[in-house]
Structure 1
C-alpha cells in the first residue's frame, strides 16, 4: 500500500480528523465544524441535516441536540448514524459511520453552561422537530422562560449530547483530473483496531 504521508500521515484516524478540523478552522469562512448528519427512520428512510460537531474525543465524535427531536428519536431507535463534512476551502472531506450513545452527564452539563444564555433559553423553549402554532407562539414561550429560568439556566433533561464512535472513517482530498486521494480506516467492532486501505477515486 502507498505510504500515507503529508495530510494523511498518522497512526490514529481521530487524530488525523482533529488535525484536519483545526486546519479548517483557520481557513473555512463559516462553521468549519458543520457536519451533515445522516440517520434512518423506522421505515428505513434516510434523513439528513446539518449539526455542529463540538468535540473529537479519543474514540468519538460529539454533537448535541434535543433528545425529543427527529434525529434523536432515530438515533435512539437503532444506535447508528453517519456524517460527512466537506471543507471547500481545503478541498477535503471526511466521512464517518458508527455507533452512537448518549452523553447526558457532567460533560453535557458543562457544554450547555458554556453556551450563550439566550441559546440556553431557546433550547428550553423549542419543541424541536415538532409542529408549533406560530413564530409568535415560540417567541412568547421564549419570553416566558427568559423570566422564569434566572441568570444561569440549567441543562434540561430533554437536551444533551451524542457520542458517535466510528467503525469507518474515510479521508478524501481533491486531486488533479479527478484522481482524488482516499483512505478508509475501518474496524468490524469497537474492540478491534482500525485497518486502513487506499481507495480508488
Structure 2
C-alpha cells in the first residue's frame, strides 16, 4: 500500500466549548487521567522540542514527572543537548500524542530550572537503578561502544552498593511554564476539533480560548 493511501476515520467523538474546563491545566489533568484509565502505553510520554544556536530544531521523548498550576516538569542531564539548547533559548514546546483516544495536546512555554530541593526530592524517590543510570550517563556525548556505558554503571553500582547515591551536580529538572495549550480531538471527515488556550498578560480572564480550524 502506498503511503498516501494510508488513512483512517476519526470517530471517537468531538470536543465542544461547553465541555472544556476554563482552566487548561485542569482540562489537561482530566485528559491525562482518562489516558491512564484507558491503559495507554506511556501516557505521560511527551515530545520536547528545542532549538540550537543555528536555529535547527530538535525533538526527543521524555516523561512528564509533575504538573501543577506553575507548569510541566521533566528531569534530565543538565549537560545534555536539550539542556544546552534551553540555556541558549528557553522557549520550548511539548507534545502529548494519545493516538488511541484520538487526542493530542500541544504546549508552548518557557523552561526554567528546578530548585536543588525539588531535584533532590525527586531523585531520592527514583529506583536505585535509575539513580545509577543518571550518574553513569553523560547524556548526548559520543560513545565508542555500549560497553563503556555498562562498565561505568557497574562501577558505580559497586561503589554505592551499601550507601545512598548523592544527587549528581549535573542532573536536575525543568519546569515549562505554559504560554499556550492546545487540545486536539479527532473528528469525522477530518473535521477535527481544536481549542487553543493562550495566556493573557492583562484582562479579566487569565486564558483566552479560541477554536481553531482543523
For the aligned pair, the TM-score class normalised by the smaller chain equals over 0.9
Selected match of 1:4 from 17, 20, 38: 17
The number of aligned residues is 198
Q: Which residue of 2 aligns with 1:181?
A: 193
Residues 85-115 of structure 1, C-alpha deviations (whole Å, 9 max, x = no match):
1111211010000111001322221111111
Q: Is the 8 A contact 1:24 1:87 kept in 2?
A: yes
Higher radius of gyration, 1 or 2: 2
1:105 and 2:116 matched = yes
Higher RCO (CA-CA < 8 Å; seq separation 6+): 2
Following superposition, which runs of at least 4 residues in structure 1 exceed 2 angstroms of deviation? 149-152, 187-192
CA distance in 2, matches of 1:183, 1:199: 6
Partners of 2:171 and 2:65 lie apart in 1 by 15
Higher mean C-alpha displacement, 142-151 vs 177-186: 142-151
Q: 1:190 to 1:64 in 2, by over 3 A?
A: farther
2:92 & 2:197 partners in 1: Cα distance? Answer: 17
Evaluate the alpha carbon distance shift between residue 3 and residue 121 of structure 1 in structure 2; reply closer, same or farther with a 3 A threshold: closer
Say whether 1:199 aligns with 2:202: no
Residues in 2 aligned to 1:43 and 1:3: alpha-carbon distance in whole angstroms: 40
For residues 43-71 of structure 1, what are the alpha-carbon distances to aligned partners after superposition, in whole Å with 9 as ceiling and x for unaligned?
00000011111111112000110000000
For residue 60 of structure 1, what is the aligned residue in structure 2?
71
- 1:87-126 alignment to 2 at 5 Å? 87-126=98-137
| 112, 134, 144: which one aligns with 2:155 | 144
* Alignment root-mean-square deviation, CA: 1.9
Corresponding residue of 2:97: 86
The gaps in structure 1 that reach 5 residues or longer are none
**TM-score of the superposed pair, with normalisation by structure 2:** 0.87
Could you tell me which runs of 5 or more consecutive residues in structure 2 were left unpaired when the two chains were aligned.
Answer: 1-14
> Structure 1 173/3 Cα, relative in aligned 2: closer, same or farther at 3 Å?
closer
- Residues 117 and 179 of structure 1, relative CA distance in 2, 3 Å threshold: same
